[in-house]
Amino acid sequence: MAKFHKDLENKEFWYKDITLIPNRLPDLERDEVDLTSSFTKNIALKIPFVSSPMDTVTGSDMAILMALMGGIGVIHYNFPTIEEQIKEVERVKRFQAGFVFKPVVLSPENNIEDVYRVNQKYGFFSCPITEDGTLNSRLTGIVTHRDVRYRTDMVTKLKEVMTPRAKLIVVDKSETVDKKNLSLAVKTLRDNNLDTLLVVDEKDRVAALVTDSDIRKDERFPLATEDENNQLRVFIAVESRLELVRERIQKAASVGVDGIVVDASVVFREQLAIAKWVKENFPKLEVVLGNIDSAGMVKKILDEGANLVDALRVGIGPGAACVTQQELGTGRAQASAVWECALTVKKLEAKYGPVPVIADGGIKVIDEVGQDVQKPGDISKALALGARTVMMGSLLAGLDESPGEKEFDYQENRMVKKYRGMGSLEAMEGRSAVRYAVDKTKIRIAEGIVTKVPYRGSGYDFLPRIIIGVKQSLQKQGFRSIKELQEEADIRLI
């Protein structure tokens, strides 16, 4: 672990209370710094950023942004229905892929209006046409945007506008999908200047498809967090009651979600039962438990379920929209919590193996009119203290990709976006009451507030500057990786 100054021992401290002392003579360029780190036991991120499962932070647009930039998003569960959260997961998983399995198909008797409905729901036009409009029947053609973009006769049957099977260039499933040979499919697609290439099985049924747009997305974002099929990874938040999560997790798993974050203000014992149920029924899903803030909590979780948990989420009450510490007098300074939890995990590593720690909340940025807001020093400090990744809410809530619309604040004389803690009374009118274990009570005490954050524009412009800032911090200290930072950082009280 890093060098921890004796003045910090047995003290509570926030990120603002510490600094990282450079002791090396740097001999590397900023771009040589590698920020790859473990999000969970089995998923690594090229960029150690995680978007918080808050309803003013992470929906599908934010999750797509985070994954493309090398991080990951956790979609909140404060929707009126489970299906609405699942649709957000589907949007992320359908955004890109190597092979697109279970593509949307139509029949020759469908009409042009049906193609536009597909586009409205999923964001694409290309649809294979099969005999009966299912994947169980033979391929008869394909309809793409080119076939319908200038048509105004919405009732025209697709059999009149589609490219027929006889004119299609396809590849065999046995030579591509079965051999995991995406390169052959891409070569065929590009050699023939196609937008969409269909993969068929021995009965001439559609097994998958490959699109040029997906391949170009993959090339444009080389750091993207992807699964083995080049689909973006995404997690969902779930309640901390086993009776409530079964249906949610089953439906999320059916559309390809990569893992769950059991989302609660403090880790309840029932989370271990949830983790056990998930590992028994969906062993490939990663499970994150939390929130915790002390060595005692780490030890209890690992003693009882080290084989069930894939990461631990640290932070009770440090968030910008959280007032747990003020209202209830419980929680602790976030930097202290991250250090103690990470140190305890490290001490228990020989017994239980490595368990990544996620630093959740407390990341502050300077944000005054006329000044830059990109000040990533707290992120570097969290990583130096032992966090493998950093979960953020308020820093991301002002982006175009967060849920909600921007508005002009006449008092502040600038554009803002709404940001609310999930413990606010407003948020608890939805599913969020479960997060604070007050869903069955009449009297509720707010542990969060509703506020506004500055509008920060597109995340595709904003996040690269934060990433560069973290890399520059490590460069100044002479570290090439987060591993080096965590082993050699010199952490001192200011």
Residues taking part in catalysis:
322, 435
Pairing of strands 414-420, 450-454: antiparallel
Cβ distance 389 to 50 under 8 Å?
Answer: yes
Residue 457, both tokens: 């524009």
Residue 110, both tokens: 């469908």
Among 397, 401, 394, 393, smallest CA distance to 61 is for 401
Q: Which residue has the tokens 């780190």?
A: 37
Q: Which residue has the tokens 């450079």?
A: 22
Cβ distance 282 to 251 under 8 Å?
Answer: no
Pairing of strands 139-143, 163-164: antiparallel
